[in-house]
A and B are shown apart, each in its own frame.
Chain A
């Protein structure tokens, strides 16, 4: 058995480079890999031209809000950035390109990317500006949109529990985009709030199998307890 538990430096160094696409888990704060994000912001602030794929933009100066504020990202693919007025301002000033994707289509494009499917067909967004510019297909008398799969270079996840083989488990509503993202990237780094020995998570309860995971690091306790 190879032990995937690494120090932060070792897990991140060499893996993240300028211009890459990073998939970052989390819906609001739940499931957001704050330790990995803060490490990038502190030790890799020179990174430029990243494309971030995240459900939301967290909050001003919190989570990916810090990466955006440091000018590390060129592009954000997201579903909702309403809790981060700084990200909205950057978008409006033309400093950040934002692609909004309906949330279920966002999840499904990532799932498709991880499942080896180049694209899928859907009627979500037909008759709205979301359909603009997208290829369509006539099928069984209906016009459907072609939605392309999304893949990333590196996924950053925060599991509630991970074992040393990388098997992951999430509590409550923390799972959100994590499992799909964990399948859709060339490298997957997991910060775990609790690291356990193999077998401590019952096999039937593993949400993301360790075969998808490249490194596990210890998450730091969250220091931003506020409403």
Chain B
């Protein structure tokens, strides 16, 4: 985890509250448990078939009997439950997932999410991403502020195929936090080392600023 990723993951961890059932998408989101306070009471759901994921398994392989949705060998906490895919997605679609933390290629200012396909370049399939984006009670997207071309991940309209429309409640980058209010993402918090100018760098659509900014920490 580099410095920017560490800022994102630590800020995202603060969105979790005790007692939540949370699904963490592949990549950066899976690093969140590592920065939660010891003994933090949260049930991590893995869509391939269990609730109550523990720490990664030291020395484990993809052949382990418990893997997460990204194929990492992981452990189960005491009180974990294993189930099949049908029940796992009943849990998601039925509204029992308090939060999903997902990555993104693009997030539109109206909360559309594109994170599964770059036509002609990256076509791995959506996995369980559409259900998570559409049905988690709260969708938090975490991402670097700019893509590798220096373009903001927050855009007026997504150019890539959508994972789900109007689903993103919170967008967290290493520079800022945006929350969806009355249907539009609004700038709500700025990292102490950033300014409004650096936050709006690379963002080419109008974004409102909350009347009162939240403290970062």
Residues of A at under 8 Å CB distance from B?
Answer: 27-30, 55-56, 78-83, 88, 91-92, 98, 100, 102-108, 111, 122-130, 160, 170-180, 207, 222, 224-227
Contact = CB atoms under 8 A, between A and B. Distances in A.
B82 A79 contact: no
Nearest to B125: A80
Given A28-B67, A107-B85, A172-B65, 12 more contacts: A29-B63, A56-B125, A78-B125, A91-B123, A103-B126, A126-B165, A129-B161, A170-B82, A172-B76, A175-B85, A222-B63, A225-B61
Contacts of A124: 93, 130-131, 134-135
B125 A104 contact: no
Contact of A27 (B85, B126, B130): B85
A100 B67 contact: no
Contacts of B68: 173
B128 to A, nearest CB: 4
B28 interface: no
Interface of B: 46-50, 61-69, 71, 76, 82-86, 88-89, 92-93, 123-131, 134-135, 161-165
Contacts of B83: 175
A81 B97 CA distance: 25
A207 B130 CA distance: 27
B165 A179 contact: no
Nearest to B113: A128
A68 B68 CA distance: 25
B125 A79 contact: yes
A56 B84 CA distance: 16
A171 B65 contact: yes
A105 B131 CA distance: 9
25 contacts: A27-B85, A28-B62, A30-B48, A30-B65, A80-B125, A100-B125, A102-B129, A103-B85, A103-B89, A103-B127, A103-B131, A107-B89, A124-B130, A124-B134, A127-B165, A128-B161, A130-B126, A172-B49, A172-B50, A173-B50, A173-B65, A173-B67, A175-B49, A225-B63, A227-B61
Contact of B126 (A100, A122, A175): A100
